[in-house]
Amino acid sequence: MGLAEECQLKLGENPDSKDSVFNAICELFNYLPIAAVIKESILCVHSGISEGLTIESLNTIKKPYTPESNKVVADILWAQPSTQKENYSYNNISSKYRKLSFTQEVFNKFLQENKLNLVVRTKDYCSTGFERIFNNKLITVFSATNYCGTEGNDGSIMYVKRNLEVLFKLMTGEEVNNTWSKNKDFNSTYPVSPRKKN
């Protein structure tokens, strides 16, 4: 179930109506920040990068924005690493954007020109909760456990320590009552984050 269907079911509204809660939420997204930078080192985006993108240019994106009116916005929201480019055959509003991609060469140039160490993205499904590619410089974090109630996948949360070290906390898709992993083999492969000291 998507957001439109949920609004229709729970609020009894037509999501296509101009005055619907669904459309108000969609409009709000056009005003939100498109990316975040952590300590001038880690870029956080929904999906990808745009060739020629600079961190400074992110601040010049006029709001409200839409993927239809701004290629950089479309790339940040939809572009995938070329190694993960999917063959998407549905015909809906996102179909044309799902074909956008970037190569490792473009990615490496982007990191170098922007003096970044890492890019974190969230759009794509990962059965293990997170995935590292492009020499561990591009991380996909997927927090939805048992995606759509059918995948049985794990989810993860990524923590960034003050020294910019990243740690992952896994939530297993197989656990019903407790989403935090208690599987020793899993935790040794993907160490849990340390507890905060009071």
pLDDT tens digits, 147-191: 877 788 889 999 999 999 999 998 887 654 334 445 555 555 544
Is residue 117's pLDDT more than 50?
yes
Query: What is the model's pLDDT at position 104?
Result: 92
At 50, the amino acid letter reads S
CB 48 within 8 A of CB 81: yes
Residue 48 has pLDDT above 60, yes or no: yes
pLDDT tens digits along 14-36: 999 999 999 999 999 999 999 99
Count of C-beta atoms within a 10 Å radius of residue 130 = 22
Please give the pLDDT value at position 1. 59
- The superfamily in CATH containing domain 31-189 is Metallo-dependent phosphatases (3.60.21.10)
Q: Which residues contact 51 (CB under 8 A, 6 or more apart)?
A: 75, 102, 106, 110
| CA–CA separation, 193 and 160 (whole Å) | 10
Q: Where in the chain is the domain with CATH 3.60.21.10?
A: 31-189
Other CB atoms within 10 Å distance of the CB of residue 195: 6
- pLDDT category at 67 given cuts 50, 70, 90 is confident
| Rounded Cα–Cα distance for residues 131 and 133 (Å) | 7
How far apart are the C-alpha atoms of 178 and 77, rounded to whole Å?
32
What integer best gives the mean pLDDT of the chain?
82
pLDDT of 54 above 60: yes
Give the model's pLDDT for residue 189: 54
> Is pLDDT of 92 > 80?
no
Q: What is the 3-state secondary structure (H, E, C) of 26-75?
A: HHHHCCCCCCEEECCCEEECCCCCCCCCCHHHHCCCCCCCCCCCCHHHHH
Q: Summarize the confidence of residues 75-79 as an average pLDDT.
A: 89
Residue of 168, 169, 124, 172 lying closest to 146 (CA atoms):
172
